[in-house]
Amino acid sequence: MRTAPTILHLDMDAFFASVEQASKPSLRGKAVVVGGLGPRGVVATASYEARVFGVHSALPMAQARRLAPNAAYLVPRFGFYRAISERVMELLRALSPLVEPLSLDEAFVDLEAGGAAWDERSARLAGVKLRADIRAVTGLTGSVGLAASKMLAKIASEQAKPDGLVTIEPGTERAMLGPMSVRTLPGVGPATGDHLRRAGITTVEEIAEAGEDELVRLLGKAHGHGLYAMALARDDRPVVAEREAKSVSVEDTYDVDIHDRLRVGLEVQRLADRCVRRLRGAGLSGRTIVLKVRRYDFSTRTRSETLRGPTDDPGVIREAAARLLDSVDTTGGVRLLGVGVSGLADYTQEDLFAQAAGERAVAEGPVEERAATPVVEEQPAPAERRWPAGHDVRHAGFGHGWVQGSGLGRVTVRFETPDSEPGRVRTFRVDDPELEPADPLPLVLREPEGGHGPDGDSGSVGLRSAAP
CA 91, CA 140: separation in Å to the nearest integer?
13
HEC secondary structure over 345-357: ECCCCCCHHHHHH
- The answer to whether residues 161 and 11 touch, using CB atoms and an 8 Å cutoff, is yes
Smallest CA-to-CA distance from 154 within 48, 13, 56, 8 is with 8
Strand residues in 159-217 grouped as ranges (E): 165-167
Check if 214 is active-site.
no
Please give the C-alpha separations between residue 199 and each of 48, 203, 213, 223, 302, in angstroms, as whole numbers: 34, 12, 14, 16, 33
DSSP H or E segment with residue 19: helix 15-23
What's the length of the chain? 468
Please give the C-alpha separations between residue 228 and each of 172, 185, 192, in angstroms, as whole numbers: 17, 10, 13
- The answer to whether residues 75 and 37 touch, using CB atoms and an 8 Å cutoff, is yes
3-state DSSP helix/strand/coil % of the chain, to nearest 5: 35, 25, 40
Of 20, 100, 106, 120, catalytic? 106
Phi and psi, residue 349, nearest 5°: -90, 110
Sign of CA dihedral 447, 450, 454, 455: positive
Q: Which residues are catalytic?
A: 106
